[in-house]
Structure 1
Amino acid sequence: MLPLANLSGDAGQDYFADGITEDITLALSRWRSFQTIARNSAFLYKGRVVDMKQVGRDLGVRYVLEGSVRKVGNRLRITVQLIDTTTAAHVWAERYDRELTDIFEVQDDICRRIAAVIEPELARHVQRQAMDKTVDHLAAWDLLHRGLFHLYKFTKADIAAARSYFERAIALDPHFCRAYTSLAYTHQLDVLHGYADDIEHSIGEHLRHARKGVELDDGDSYAHLMLAFAYVRTGDHDLTLAEARKAADVNPHDAWAHAMVGRALDAAGESAAGLPYIERSIALTPRDPHVKFYLAVGAQMLINKRDYREAERWARRSIEADPSQARPHLLLAIALRYQERWPEARAALAACEAATPGFPDRWHAWREYRDEADRVHMSEGFASLRRAPKANAARKRL
């Protein structure tokens, strides 16, 4: 992170630009998926016109985050760009405009947003780079990112391909934490999307690889996140929440970790407390490929809260983000069923079946809930969709 340039026309504002630079550097250092150069090394370039390729060579870094601060009256504008030092090409750029009502609150908010968005943007770029390399010459890190490239397509074939790359990465480096946790995630996705032939086996493999990841690096938020995912599948609610909170504590800028805290609270019977975590995750990383999942989780929470119209809205937003997903179509069907909009509900169920044949029969999210009333409510919402319309009408008259 190079020092942000002060474009305010007032040298007295240098302290403000330097303060934001330090805060962003500290926030970025929470990520284990990349290393961040210390503040003192980066500040050697303060006030200098630099060649990005030379900076990369001097500091031994592949990517540089640079930008500027302009403060005029009560208005603040911060512009940042992520640059690949091997090509000097822009990978990502964003502008943040704010009213300075509370300078510390504004500064913290912008730093959180930048830190949250950099990791997924950087990951996408690295994955594209890995795909350009010859398969016979891939190191463990490249194998990981080639696998992630496939993983985030979320199809059955791509998840299987990703698993193969992660296993090859582990064969090259048996102490590669992120390869184990990514391997765990493939099993989580197989269960989530209804791809698993043996659900209990997939859950067991997920748990085994996630535990190995935490064993290798207890300070990796992603490892704790994957372990939380495993525990929600096994019904260990206290362990789910503990691991999710550990992930968020290790890296407060990890949107996914906050979403998992929300999901853990929902499963434990605290949907109202969990929903703000999902909303925060979406606000932090609106371009993250996982946003469609956050929206689906939010829809499920809202069904559990008995707020069916809002659940419908969230499910539709998830479908809009990716119509090929089966789960949000099913959640939409349940939300519509509880509004007694039966024709629409059955159409949504048909869309779910079309997206992933057999998914409705393999869906068992209600088992994750601690409270019997929540399990019955979710399972009845689904089961009633399978009953004949006349049976539902008769049930209503009773």
Structure 2
Amino acid sequence: MSLVRLDLLGGFHLTSPQGKPLEMPAKKNRALLGILSVAPNQEATRHKLAALLWSDRGEEQARNSLRQALAAIRKDFAGSGADALVLVGDRIALNPKLFAVDVTEFVAASASRDVAELRRATTLYAGPFLDGLSTSDNTFEDWLREVRADLSLRAIDVFQALAESVSGTERIAISERLVALDPLREPSHVVLMRAHIALGEAALAIKRYETCRLLLKRELNVEPGDELRQLRRSMDDTSTQQTRGASGHVPVVAVLAFENMSSDASQEYFSDGVTEDIITELGRFGELHLIARNSSFVFKGKIVDAVTIAKQLSVDYLLRGSIRRAGDRVRISSQLIEARSGNQIWADRFDRELTDIFELQEEIARSVAITVVGTIRTSGVEKIRRLPITQLDAYDLYLQARVLMVRYDTTLEAEPYLAKAIELDPNVATIHAMMATVLTSKWLLEGDGNTLKIALAHGHRALKLEPKQAWSHTAVGHTLIFMGHLEEALLHLEQGVNLNPNETRARAIRGLCWSYLGRHEEALSDLDVCIARDPLNYDWFWDLRGQVLLVLGRYPEAVASYRNLHSYAFWAYAFLAVCHWRMGDGHLAAQAARQCLAARPGATVNTILIDPYRDPKILEDLRRDLLAVGIPDG
């Protein structure tokens, strides 16, 4: 006989053998099942249950309340083919022939040191025991705190053991979850720092140290302990040795938003766009690690000294500058600052006709790279050929479109700007790649079948113009995903990541492709790397991550990921509703479903489920639950 699934880690969630969520609205009944699930042999005396759940009542009244709760639970499962509870004299137990309990499985898996079992334990631990459940009974609340603490300590041991047994991005992801379990636990930060160091991500390791130090100071008014301080000092020693000649050091660079010096404040988009293109050009050089735009632009418009900015971003060098635009000419002044000392080590000024703007950006990027790295291995970095913008307005339109395309609620507004830019200059790969991305987003939001074909044509045009541009491959891969050509899409996305390792968009979309192919853990690793490299990242990184976590069954984490969004696409509300439904919260599920229908009037299950998952069961389960939360069929 198939078992009823009782998941208590991260909330309370009952699932029938057929995979249908089961409701149990009474808090005390949920608490009673929780008590039995962690009791020795999953059984307890009537006296203990009554004392824990109804301690504010007299003994007789507490016993009566217990009898009513037991009767209600047995009635709830009357059609399951077996009694939910085994009653023998004064003892009450869960029926092992009916229930499979995540806590029991977690405890068993956590006792192993086999990597596969440890992975299973980390998957099972979706959050605190009976998270979100509270009663008015102080005795039960005291008991609940003790159980949660015990399971949390066990989870910490599991995550630490797994982090020390795996490598690469999986080690980073596990270590980050370890830190989240208890952000004030210093050994967890040590584990995450060592994971970053092992991947050569010194800047992120230093950022982790600073985050921990500030947290300890704010919450406990203490400084980091010996182990953390020694690890931090060892990184300085290693960095010094690398700077003196070791070829393995990868300098970390942040490009701050170039200041708009034009008299027209509305030209701000122009200075921002040129800055972003310089970041992209610098990202082509494997000898550098670039801090993503969303993090470095936090300091835009603020008066903060270079050393302070460098410390907060954990970088070796800062590039800052200004842009003055007058008529058909532009002057770009830039300075490279060594972060530790605050000294300017390079500066230059570029006066150009705006028709040469792309070559100008590449010239700045190459000059900075040569200065920071020392020499660029010519055999490893091929000059990217750019066709000049022959019409000034085309570049203007391209920059304005980029401002619009990064958010779900404005991305469709970018299309007319790009269409006009292509009309004025049809030979710019970046504009065609952006159009392909915008049109794919349009198909996702509106569902017109011909839109994908047009998007792919723009992507192929971008590839023909610039076959070695990361965004060209990323745009083609993005479109191919939703045409169902996942393997071909993956090849392009892999090329995009290889051409520009610092381009987080390519990696994030590759993560989505991994998930559709059924390789969800690899997808999550890709997205976690994006978020780790860019702590102030694009909204849609969190959207994709939430969807992967939903498929993995890690619903509390998925909800937490969706909560990082500033603007929601209608499908994000729908998947959030499914998360709440599977966690047993029908009220929040219905609320999210209503938000989905408000964001996209007339939305149906079919308009939401356009994801090309290779595993049909994923779509079948999502369809069932979308209907259950109130999304119309069709």
Report the TM-score, using the length of structure 1 for normalisation: 0.63
Q: Does 1:189 align with 2:441?
A: yes
Quick one: structure 1 residues 378 and 362, their matched pair in 2 at CA, closer, same or farther if it must change by over 3 Å? Answer: closer
Whole-Å Cα distance in 1 between the matches of residues 602 and 333 of structure 2?
A: 45
Describe the superposition over 1:80-126 as per-residue Cα deviations: whole angstroms up to 9, x where unpaired. 24222548899999979xxxxxxxxxxxxxxxxxx9xxxxxxxxxxx
Given residue 448 of structure 2, which amino acid in structure 1 is its aligned partner?
I
**In structure 2, what is the equivalent of residue 385 of structure 1?**
629
Distance 1:27 1:85, change over 3 A: closer
Q: CA deviation at 1:78?
A: 3.5
Tell me if 1:78 matches 2:316: yes
Aligned-partner residue type, residue 559 of structure 2: E
Task: Say which of 570, 574, 577 aligns to 1:333.
Answer: 577
1:294 and 2:541 are equivalent in the alignment? yes
Classify the secondary structure of the residue corresponding to 1:139.
helix
- Please show how residues 308-347 of structure 1 align to structure 2 within 5 Å: 308-318=555-565, 321-322=566-567, 324-347=568-591
CA separation of 1:314 and 1:36: change in aligned 2, threshold 3 A = closer
Q: What amino acid is aligned across from residue 151 of structure 1 in structure 2?
A: M
Instruction: Give, in whole Å, the separation in 2 of the partners of 1:92 and 1:37.
Output: 16
CA drift at 1:228? 1.1
Answer yes or no: is 1:376 the counterpart of 2:620.
yes
Contact 1:296 1:315 in 2 (8 A): yes
Mapped partners of 1:95, 1:327: distance in 2 = 43
- 1:317 alignment partner, SS class: coil
Match of 1:353 among 576, 579, 597: 597
Q: CA deviation at 1:307?
A: 1.6
Report the counterpart of residue 145 of structure 1 in structure 2.
399
Query: Secondary structure at the residue paired with 2:563?
Result: helix
Contact 2:252 2:316 (C-alpha < 8 Å) held by counterparts:
no
Mapping of residues 1-398 of structure 1, within 5 Å = 16=243, 23-24=250-251, 35=281, 78=316, 80-84=318-322, 86=324, 138-155=392-409, 158-192=410-444, 194=445, 196=446, 198-288=447-537, 290=538, 292-318=539-565, 321-322=566-567, 324-361=568-605, 363-365=607-609, 367-386=611-630
- Alpha-carbon deviations, 1:248-292, whole Å to 9, x = none? 11111111111112111100011112101001111222334x2x1
Q: Flag structure 2 segments of 5+ consecutive residues without an equivalent.
A: 1-238, 256-276, 286-304, 309-313, 325-330, 341-368, 370-390
Partner of 2:196: none
| Contact 1:150–1:161 (8 Å) recurs in 2 | yes
Aligned CA-pair RMSD: 4.1
Using a 3 Å threshold, how does the CA distance of structure 1 residues 91 and 269 change in structure 2: closer, same or farther? farther
- Name the larger-Rg structure: 2
Residues 326-353 of structure 1, C-alpha deviations (whole Å, 9 max, x = no match): 2322221011111221111010111122
Contact 2:315 2:339 (8 Å CA) reproduced = yes
Query: For residue 430 of structure 2, what is the amino acid of its counterpart?
Result: R
Change beyond 3 A, Cα 1:305–1:340: same
CA-CA distance at 1:153 after TM superposition: 4.3
Q: CA deviation at 1:308?
A: 1.7
> Judging changes above 3 Å, is the alpha-carbon distance between structure 1 residues 294 and 79 closer, same or farther for their aligned structure 2 residues?
same
CA distance in 2, matches of 1:223, 1:278: 20
CA gap 1:38/1:175 in 2 versus in 1, 3 angstroms = closer
Structure-2 separation of matches of 1:94 and 1:310: 39
Change (3 A) 1:161 1:386: closer
The structural deviation recorded for 1:206 is: 1.6
For 1:68 and 1:309, locate their aligned partners in 2 and report how far apart those are by CA, in whole Å: 39
Measured against aligned partners, the alpha-carbon deviations of 1:124-169 in whole angstroms (never above 9, x if no partner) come to xxxxxxxxxxxxx8432222101212223433xx444421111122
Q: CA contact under 8 A between 2:283 and 2:502: conserved in structure 1?
A: no
Q: Which has the higher helix share?
A: 1
1:67 touches 1:79 (CA, 8 Å); kept in 2?
no
For residues 88 and 387 of structure 1, the distance between their equivalents in structure 2, rounded to whole angstroms, comes to 53
- Percent identity, aligned pairs only, is 17
> Counterpart amino acid of 1:371?
D
Amino acid at match of 2:506: A
**Cα offset, 1:306, TM superposition:** 1.6
